[in-house]
Amino acid sequence: MEAKINALKEQMEISLGAVQSQEELAEFWQAYLGKKGSIAGLMKELGKVSAEERPAMGKFINQFKAYAEQRYQEVRAEMDRKELEARNKNEQVDITMPAVKRPMGSLHPITIVKDQMVDVFAGMGFEIYEGPEIEDDDHNFTRLNVAKNHPARDMQDTFYVAEDIVLRTHTSPGQIRVMDAEKPPIKVLVPGRVFRSDSDATHSPMFHQMEGLVVDKKITLCDLQGMLDEFVKKIFGSEVKTRLRPSYFPFTEPSVEVDVSCFECGGKGCSLCKGTGWIEVLGGGIVHHKVLENCGIDPNEYSGLAFGIGIERIAMLKYGINNIGLLYENDLRFLKQFKD
């Protein structure tokens, strides 16, 4: 019996020396120290030993069991130490290495210019309204004094969703919705995306407009020019001036094109202003009396002014961008040049 225990001890040491993982260590426990293990088997064989030798043999087996448990704990502790050491090595941070730098982002130039424009007009008391991008024909054309056979419809190059449903060609429908919902005095700014079937270096099928509407008593073109004069000074510089030229829009009468003195050459003439000293920036005018009537506003008591500004146009002029497509290509080399 004693020889069998010594042989089992040697076999145990060999098995323990071959353990390389926690799984193998668990298997070792089951093989030697488990309920069905080799040491438990020795205890069962005590019945075959004579009564005189049984106490000494039981003590010998218990000593072997205690030794086996001690060796198991030593190997387990060493294995835990090595695993912790390996984990710490993998997770350690080398504080001498430079940090990973993430480039600082910036707003898109269209967003920068839009925010600047909103800030200027908000300072004049304008409220903001954003209407739907899919409009019915009534709001987009008819109530803005654009009849079914009016040539202005052809000029808009409209995207039709259905027979009388369109992608809005301007943000002016938002003015109609505001006049339907509110009574004068009205002072509202309507920014947003608009859509026209047009594409070249200065035009895009989708672009951004910002329309302004003021309805009150005794509104005149002088109010429009004074307001826009303040606007261009804030956007292009304090020396810039405005000029109104007669034009035509079905929803305003009289209608004007608004020019600004060239901020590049100071009005002397350069390539930007094509030698004229002036740059066209937007259109506007006095709200047509039929438009007021279509919204239930008495044109004999109230008058209004309206203007529409292309946000891309302002951005291109402000930053010297010569192709509108650059604003939509998402080229980081282009976009990261702009900081608010």
Query: Alpha-carbon dihedral of residues 83, 84, 89, 95, nearest 10 degrees?
Result: 170
Q: Is 182:283 a contact under the CB 8 Å cutoff?
A: no
Number of neighbours of residue 153 by Cβ within 10 angstroms:
18
Binding-site entries: 253
User: Which residues, at least 6 apart from 106, have a Cβ–Cβ distance to it below 8 Å?
Assistant: 335, 336, 338, 339, 340
Binding-site entries for Mg(2+): 253
Q: Is 284:137 a contact under the CB 8 Å cutoff?
A: no
Selection from 113, 162, 112, 155 nearest residue 137 by Cα: 162
Selection from 295, 300, 123, 283 nearest residue 218 by Cα: 300
Selection from 323, 239, 315, 238 nearest residue 281 by Cα: 315
